Amino acid sequence: MRRKKRIITVAIDSPAAAGAGTQAKYIAKEYNLLYLDTGKIYRYIAKIKLKEKKNFSYKSIKKKINNIKLKSLSSKSLLTDEVANSASILAKNNKIRKMVKKFQLNCAYKPSKYYSGSVLDGRDITSVIMKDAMFKFYITANIKVRAKRRFDEFKKLKKKISYNEVLKSLRNRDNLDKNRKYSPLKKTKDSILINTSKLSKKACFYKIKRIMDRKLKIDGNL
């Protein structure tokens, strides 16, 4: 009797600008997985809050979270500083986190039959959301490397900001992520460390792919 294949589940945690989103997209495309950038959910909620202002309520947002379309999370309107700052505040709200967690779990473990599984990236995916994921990665890079990457992104967008300002911002973000009360960023013992400081995007992906293919072949998923 042929053994039934398990869905492929990939959990990724990382500090900001380490390249986790890029790697998650590569993985999703290679293995036909649903991809969810969990940080975008908080930005989505933040955008609604900024728009509704006094009319914003937990009841209304709960309904909207349950009906989020993944395509709406790729909107460029979620990338503004105003939305980002509001999202950081909302991410500390335990009621909001519980609502978001339910949506994340559905994406992680109940993707549509079109997909072979899921890949989620964020700050608490390996430690809270997908503790039993088939693959768990902690993607990081030297903070100066991360600052240079983010600075180059801003230059392309013609945003006026200095490298030192970007570096300071990332240090503050790291401190907030690692020391927040709920679900702080941390590397779990069973997560595989991937340091992208000296790796190109493709080299990093091939390193991850080798790890995944080896296990998938053993488990009969390849």
Residue 1 has pLDDT above 50, yes or no: no
**DSSP-assigned letters across all residues of the chain:** -PPPPPPEEEEEE--TTSSHHHHHHHHHHHHTEEEEEHHHHHHHHHHHHHHHGGG--HHHHHHHHHT--GGGGG-GGGGSHHHHHHHHHHTT-HHHHHHHHHHHHHHHH---TTSSEEEEEESSIIIII-TT-SEEEEEE--HHHHHHHHHHHHHHTT----HHHHHHHHHHHHHHHHH-SSS-----TTSEEEE-TT--HHHHHHHHHHHHHHHHHHHT--
Give the tokens for residue 137: 């990665």
What is the pLDDT at residue 2? 47
pLDDT tens string 32-76: 999 999 999 999 999 999 998 888 888 888 888 988 989 899 888
Give all domains of the chain, ordered by start, each with its CATH number: 8-208 (3.40.50.300)
Residue type, 9: T
What DSSP designation does 172 have? H
pLDDT band at 220 (very low <50, low <70, confident <90, very high): confident
What is the pLDDT at residue 218? 86
Gap between the Cα atoms of 13 and 187, Å rounded: 8
What is the pLDDT at residue 173? 87
pLDDT tens string 97-129: 999 999 999 999 999 999 999 999 999 999 999
Residue type, 119: V
What is the pLDDT at residue 101? 93
Q: Which residue has the tokens 């890949």?
A: 119
The percent of residues above 70 in pLDDT, for the chain, comes to: 98
Residue type, 52: E
Task: Please give the angle made by the CA atoms of 202, 204 and 210, to the nearest 5 degrees.
Answer: 100
